[in-house]
Amino acid sequence: MFVIATWLVAAIIQSLLSISNIFALPVSDVLTPNVIRSVLTQTGIGKLFLSQFIALGIALLLATRMGTAHQARTALLVVLGANFIPALGGHSGLAKNHELAASTMAVHLLSLSIWVGTLIAMTMWFHKITLGREVAAHRFSQLALFCYFAVALSGVTNAWLRLSGFSDILSSRYGQMVVVKVLLSITIGYFAYLNRQRTIQAVAEIRFPTRLVIGEIILISITLGVAVILARTGFPTQDSSSLPSLAEQLLQVSVPDGLTFVSALTSFKPDALWLIIELLACIAYARGVQRLKGKWPVKNATAFAGAILMLTYATSGGLGVYSHIIFSAHMIQHMMLALAIPILFVFARPLTMAKQLQEANPEFIGPIDWYVSAYQSRFWTFITRPMNLVAFSFIGYVGIYFTQVFDWLMSGHWGHVAMQVYLLTYGYALMWSVIGIDGASDGVTKTQIFLLLITEPIHIIFGISLLFYNKIIGEANYLIMDRPYLQDLAHDQKVGGILSLVIGETLIAGTLMYLVRVKNKGTHPISRFSEHSP
Ligand code: HEM
């Protein structure tokens, strides 16, 4: 609680100093309610400060009533959210490829806080752990290793985006500071390696290698100082001719040069955040398949691979690239995220896999248990209630596109990411409930068919409305982008409507046929098959 309170106070002081810096006025002059109110509510940086204050305020409230592991997890999520907010703006917005700059910065800050936070927690409480010390030490060292590489990789990628070539590394002040950070990080890595060795011995001795850890924490603090200076140092590509275009500055979206069949298929612009999520999901699933000793059905694993490939294409591949700037491409992405990918994920049956792993090793409590308990949480129960799923469907189509919400979400990279998260989460919850194959039900009930049949008209009405709607959805943003192709926005919107109808209805009809087949047979064919698998 004390740490969060200190963080909140520091964030408030930092915001005041930043406002004074922006207006080039002494702090005492900006300390007026009018200036503070207008900066916090009307400027991009002010809104970020305000969001961080709110997140920290919530975290502080949660910290006062922390009694259970569930409450601790909720507080942790809010704190990580507060930590993630600075990545949404600031220096990354000025980099040439700022979608990648912003997402690598988010990965940098999130993995850094998980790593350093866990290190401090282990130093403070390791000696108090009585049960499961070995598991804690093992998990800590795995987590720290993973986070360390995530920090280094995201840091190097982010730095590279701000340099115009190798020559900038030593010739610019920014490049030199990056070199200092890399050297410090290598030294920290060496300390961490020594810690890792000693921690394994420490399990028997009930204490953490405190002296080494303190050395590591001092080095981390120095690196943090260098990071803050780096973030305030102009970088080479910032003041060269490669300044971001208007669309890049306002929407944080870069407009790809040409649209051809080949470029739509082969373009690739990594979205670090999604790539990390995909990588973690792949590692977890592959380990599951391995631990079930090859008895996991190939068709489930194939569905998983298909879902991951499709998600990568929809977020970092050609579809991800063009979905930011072309409405019809955005519509295909919508159908992929809300229907196709969730269907494949359900057929991959990750929950069934997790339950089988739990049964195979009931004493081991870890991420698998958290994963399984997420399906029993109030959040999941709430979002999978049939009437709520219908409401989310309505929001996903009418609520987003026929209000100002679409314009607002498309007016920045993170709005687009938020929309992707919404569509994928709601789509997965819907398909998990409707298909039922991954632990939602044994056979097919009327509710499942009803749920699919009631969301279908919403989808059909949406697609037809797009064909006849005479207002251009997201017009202001598309005009700012001023893309050199597909400039007839009204026509593109109609194409979007047709694509949404064709893709969406094909997927819904396919799912319905599957349900009817299963209903006629009695139970899910895959459930019967894999009950005896592991
Ligand atoms: C291979 C090593 C690393 C590289 C190449 C690297 C690179 C970077 C870059 C390019 C930025 C963005 C600065 C800007 O906005 O212009 C950054 C930010 C940051 N880095 Fe690193 N980093 C590395 C390791 C670390 C480590 C080990 C830590 C902490 C111990 C760290 C802490 C931070 C923090 C806190 C920020 C945000 C600073 C701010 O916005 O005020 N980095 N890093």
Q: What is the pLDDT of residues 347-382, one digit of tens each?
A: 999 999 999 998 887 766 667 888 898 899 888 999
Look at residue 438 and tell me if it is in a domain.
yes
Q: Looking at residue 420, what is its pLDDT?
A: 95
Q: What is the pLDDT of residues 188-222, one digit of tens each?
A: 999 888 877 776 666 666 566 677 778 888 999 99
The Å distance, Cα 181 to ligand 1 centre, comes to: 7
* More confidently predicted of 40 and 5: 5
Evaluate whether 426 touches 338 at the Cβ level (below 8 Å).
Answer: yes
The Å distance, Cα 164 to ligand 1 centre, comes to: 18
Look at residue 45 and tell me if it is in a domain.
yes
Q: Which of 49, 70, 88 finishes a domain?
A: 88
Please report the atom of ligand 1 found closest to the CA of residue 219: 30
Please report the atom of ligand 1 found closest to the CA of residue 220: 30
240 Cβ contact list (under 8 Å, min separation 6)? 164
- Hunting for tokens 């709601």 — which residue is that? 426
Evaluate whether 374 touches 460 at the Cβ level (below 8 Å).
Answer: no
Rounded Cα–Cα distance for residues 448 and 441 (Å) = 9
Residues 71, 111 share a domain:
no
Look at residue 458 and tell me if it is in a domain.
yes
Residues 139, 37 share a domain:
no
Q: What is the pLDDT of residues 286-330, one digit of tens each?
A: 999 998 887 899 999 999 999 999 999 999 999 998 998 899 999
Report which protein residue has its CA nearest ligand 1's atom 34.
Answer: 227
Residues 268, 234 share a domain:
no
Q: Would the pLDDT of 240 be above 70?
A: no
Rounded Cα–Cα distance for residues 160 and 158 (Å) = 5
Look at residue 198 and tell me if it is in a domain.
yes
Residues 165, 284 share a domain:
no
Q: Would the pLDDT of 260 be above 80?
A: yes
The most confident of the ranges 69-83, 284-298, 409-423, 492-506 is: 492-506
The most confident of the ranges 38-47, 67-76, 348-357 is: 348-357
Most informative mutation of 151, 153, 156, 187 for ligand 1 (most atoms within 8 A of CB): 151
Residues 438, 346 share a domain:
yes
Evaluate whether 270 touches 100 at the Cβ level (below 8 Å).
Answer: yes
Q: Which of 45, 60, 88 finishes a domain?
A: 88
Q: Looking at residue 528, what is its pLDDT?
A: 46
**Would you place residue 534 in the very low, low, confident or very high pLDDT band (cuts 50, 70, 90)?**
very low
Contacts 24+ apart (CB under 8 A), 503-506: 503/332, 503/335, 503/339, 503/340, 504/335, 504/339, 504/459, 504/463, 505/456, 505/459, 505/460, 505/463
Residues 357, 419 share a domain:
yes
The Å distance, Cα 155 to ligand 1 centre, comes to: 6
175-187: average pLDDT? 94
The Å distance, Cα 52 to ligand 1 centre, comes to: 19
Report which protein residue has its CA nearest ligand 1's atom 19.
Answer: 227
Most informative mutation of 187, 230, 232, 235 for ligand 1 (most atoms within 8 A of CB): 230
Residues 161, 81 share a domain:
no
Residues 215, 73 share a domain:
no
Look at residue 250 and tell me if it is in a domain.
no
Q: Looking at residue 531, what is its pLDDT?
A: 44
Residues 236, 95 share a domain:
yes
Most informative mutation of 88, 179, 182, 185 for ligand 1 (most atoms within 8 A of CB): 185
Q: What percent of the chain has pLDDT over 90?
A: 40
Residues 106, 73 share a domain:
no
DSSP string computed for 47-84: HHHHHHHHHHHHHHHHHHT--SHHHHHHHHHHHHHHHH
Q: Which of 56, 72, 88 finishes a domain?
A: 88
Report which protein residue has its CA nearest ligand 1's atom 12.
Answer: 231
**Protein residues with CB under 6 Å of any ligand 1 atom:** 86, 91, 108, 112, 151-152, 155-156, 158-159, 178, 181-182, 185, 188, 220, 223-224, 227-228, 230-231, 235
Least confident of 239-248, 334-343, 415-424, 486-495: 239-248
Look at residue 400 and tell me if it is in a domain.
yes
- Hunting for tokens 């990080």 — which residue is that? 185
Q: Would the pLDDT of 526 be above 70?
A: no
Look at residue 164 and tell me if it is in a domain.
yes
Look at residue 255 and tell me if it is in a domain.
no
Q: Would the pLDDT of 391 be above 50?
A: yes
For residue 447, the enclosing domain spans 263-531
- Taken as a whole, the chain contains a residue count of 534
Q: How many domains are there within the chain?
A: 3
DSSP string computed for 345-398: HHHH-HHHHHHHHHHH-TT--SHHHHHHHHTTSHHHHHHTSHHHHHHHHHIIII
Residues 498, 354 share a domain:
yes
Residues 200, 276 share a domain:
no
Q: Looking at residue 251, what is its pLDDT?
A: 59
Which of 507, 388, 509, 521 minimizes the C-alpha distance to 444?
521
Least confident of 72-86, 126-140, 336-350: 126-140
Evaluate whether 274 touches 315 at the Cβ level (below 8 Å).
Answer: yes
